């Protein structure tokens, strides 16, 4: 899949224009997704020096993106008469999703097993509804 990933609030805590602390397991999970052959695109409101700082932050931790704020590395605004900032990706990972951003373990599980958030919640609920042992049934 082609996956667009936000930076502030998603890979790092939201401290824009500064770079916040890395969110737990964000970089490791993204590198694992790359090993699973997904293409990652950094999709950020950052531009210029601030964008360069975000890219450097990730690069220093061993995370390189397929493209940055574009669909593919060679894309040039001047050569695209119909340029749109909207990416053509399969998935966006962003802290501004409805309900916020889940932890990176949940994100990885959803992508790997192609689960929607609703699918994942149904899975967790069914695991909670499993029959309980003798003692837990006895002492409700």
pLDDT digits (tens, 9 = 90+) for 81-139: 555 567 888 899 999 887 788 889 989 989 999 988 788 888 878 877 666 666 665 55
Give me the long-range contacts of 31-37 (CB less than 8 A, separation at least 24): 31/62, 31/63, 32/108, 33/3, 33/108, 33/111, 34/63, 36/112
pLDDT score of 15: 94
pLDDT for residue 11 = 96
What average pLDDT score do residues 42-65 get?
Answer: 96
Contacts of 100 (CB under 8 A, 6+ apart): none
Flag whether pLDDT at 28 surpasses 60. yes
pLDDT band, residue 8 (cuts 50/70/90): very high
Map out the domains of the chain as residue ranges. Answer: 2-138
Task: Give the full edge-to-edge strand order of the sheet including 67-68.
Answer: 67-68, 39-42, 2-5, 91-93
Residue 18: pLDDT above 90? Answer: yes
Fold of 2-138: Rossmann fold (3.40.50)
Determine the pLDDT at residue 50. Answer: 96
Distance between CA atoms of residues 13 and 21, nearest Å: 5
């Amino acid at each position: 899949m082609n996956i667009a990933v936000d930076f502030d609030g998603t890979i790092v805590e939201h401290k824009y224009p500064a770079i916040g602390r890395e969110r737990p397991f964000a970089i490791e999970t993204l590198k694992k997704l790359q090993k699973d052959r997904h293409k990652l695109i950094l999709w950020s409101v950052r531009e210029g020096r601030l964008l360069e700082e975000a890219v450097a932050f990730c690069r220093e931790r061993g995370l390189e993106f397929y493209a940055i704020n574009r669909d593919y590395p060679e894309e040039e605004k001047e050569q695209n008469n119909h340029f749109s900032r909207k990416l053509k990706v399969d998935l966006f990972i962003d802290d501004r999703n409805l309900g916020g951003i889940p932890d990176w373990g949940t994100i990885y599980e959803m992508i790997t097993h192609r689960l929607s958030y609703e699918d994942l919640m149904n899975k967790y609920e069914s695991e909670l509804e499993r029959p309980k042992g003798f003692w837990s049934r006895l002492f409700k």
